[in-house]
């Protein structure tokens, strides 16, 4: 089995691994070589008795429609989609589930007899991860999302609105992205979303410390924390975090410096691996129509 396949590989036929299994699922991205999705899904496939293996597919912009069509014609079940292809995947689908329409991006494409159906399990994954980590549902929280204008941040903001959080504070470096997001959120055809009070902020806003202090759940959806020399998404030095929950969507083997600071201020914390786990489990069920063993997936994710 190759570490990463390409469109050329698919054109040559369905890839087969050393065990003689055919590729049945793949994560597509660029870069994609570090994706943890294969280790998340492979054990679940074996336990569910689904033949085939889960691989990585490196695609350039403009290649998704072809890759999906080829994968479907070769009998694959579907593909997960990661950075930077979640919007191109949306355009390449024949039909979008509500989750994709509402969250504005596709991270899961099922190859069905009727065509390509796009879903978004990132929002549902975050919701399950928060409930698991903090023993409270999303709608119990007053939420601040740092990096709400990014792809994943916007999806999570829509999930918060759909679930009717107490209030929603959106923070982003580029304010034009927040204006677009707020327009999208204002027309979501979901009753709970209409009642959510939403405010937009830049990182430089003088009232940001006040907004952070009154929030009960603060989510980092910026990419800050991926590299060891990154700045903190925001400084918590002046905040009493003892009644707050902090969720960092960045997933690293170690706690990010931002989560370490939140913990030292007394907060409950959780890292992005749990969101990765739950979005993957939701996608697995869509692909296979079988409920995966979450604990098996969790062990595979954490031990390799």
Using the rule CB under 6 A, which residue among 143, 267, 275, 283 binds ligand NDP? 275
- Note if 36 is an active site residue: no
SS3 content of the chain, % helix, strand, coil (to 5): 40, 20, 40
CB of 116 to ligand NDP, least distance (A): 21
Using the rule CB under 6 A, which residue among 172, 244, 256, 300 binds ligand NDP? 172
Distances (CA, A) of 122 to 104, 152, 207, 293: 11, 7, 30, 19
Q: The tokens 């604990």 sit on which residue?
A: 295
Decide: is 104 part of the binding site for ligand NDP (CB under 6 A).
no
Q: Of the two residues 10 and 130, which places its CB atom closer to ligand NDP in the complex? A: 130
Q: Of the two residues 21 and 261, which places its CB atom closer to ligand NDP in the complex? A: 261
CA 107 – CA 168 distance, rounded (Å) = 24
Q: Are 208 and 238 in contact (CB under 8 A)?
A: no
Decide: is 122 part of the binding site for ligand NDP (CB under 6 A).
yes
Region of 5-13, 41-49, 88-96, 166-174 interacting with ligand NDP (CB under 6 A): 166-174
Decide: is 252 part of the binding site for ligand NDP (CB under 6 A).
no
Three-state DSSP state, 167? strand
Q: Which residues 6+ apart lie within 8 Å of 223 measured at CB? A: 147, 150, 250
Decide: is 151 part of the binding site for ligand NDP (CB under 6 A).
yes
Radius of gyration of the chain, Cα coordinates, nearest whole angstrom:
19
Decide: is 83 part of the binding site for ligand NDP (CB under 6 A).
yes
CB of 235 to ligand NDP, least distance (A): 13
Decide: is 250 part of the binding site for ligand NDP (CB under 6 A).
yes
Three-state DSSP state, 98? helix
CA 263 – CA 265 distance, rounded (Å) = 5
Region of 40-48, 108-116, 145-153, 257-265 interacting with ligand NDP (CB under 6 A): 145-153
Token digits of residue 69: 């069509």
The active-site residue out of 2, 36, 86, 166 is 86
CB of 153 to ligand NDP, least distance (A): 5
Report how many residues bind ligand NDP under the rule CB under 6 A. 24
| Strands ordered across the beta sheet of 217-220 | 197-201, 167-171, 142-146, 217-220, 245-248, 268-271
Catalytic center residues: 86
Residues of this chain that interact with ligand NDP (CB under 6 A) are 83, 122, 147, 149-153, 172-174, 177, 221-224, 226, 249-251, 272, 275-276, 279
């Amino acid at each position: 089995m190759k570490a990463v396949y390409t469109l050329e590989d698919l054109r040559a036929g369905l890839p087969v691994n050393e065990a003689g299994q055919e590729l049945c699922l793949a994560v597509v991205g660029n870069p994609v070589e570090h994706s943890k999705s294969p280790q998340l899904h492979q054990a679940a496939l074996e336990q569910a008795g689904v033949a085939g293996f889960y691989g990585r597919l490196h695609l350039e912009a403009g290649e998704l429609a072809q890759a999906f069509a080829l994968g479907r014609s070769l009998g694959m079940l579907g593909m997960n989609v990661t950075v930077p292809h979640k919007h191109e995947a949306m355009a390449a689908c024949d039909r979008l589930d509500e989750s994709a329409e509402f969250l504005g991006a596709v991270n899961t494409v099922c190859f069905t007899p009727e065509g390509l159906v796009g879903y978004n399990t990132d929002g549902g994954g975050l919701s399950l991860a928060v409930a698991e980590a903090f023993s409270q549902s999303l709608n119990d929280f007053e939420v601040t999302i740092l990096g709400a204008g990014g792809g994943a941040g916007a999806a999570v903001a829509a999930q918060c609105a759909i679930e009717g959080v107490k209030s929603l504070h959106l923070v982003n470096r580029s304010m034009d992205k927040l204006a677009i997001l707020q327009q999208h959120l204002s027309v979501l055809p979901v009753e709970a979303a209409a009642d959510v009070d939403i405010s937009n902020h830049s990182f430089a806003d003088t009232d940001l410390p006040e907004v952070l202090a009154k929030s009960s759940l603060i989510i980092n959806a910026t990419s800050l924390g991926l590299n060891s020399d990154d700045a903190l998404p925001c400084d918590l030095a002046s905040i009493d975090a003892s009644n707050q929950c902090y969720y960092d969507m960045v997933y690293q083997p170690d706690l990010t410096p931002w989560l370490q600071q939140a913990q030292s201020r007394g907060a409950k914390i959780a890292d992005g691996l749990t969101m990765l786990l739950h979005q993957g489990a939701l996608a697995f069920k869509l692909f296979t129509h079988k409920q995966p063993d979450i604990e098996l997936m969790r062990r595979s994710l954490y031990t390799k």
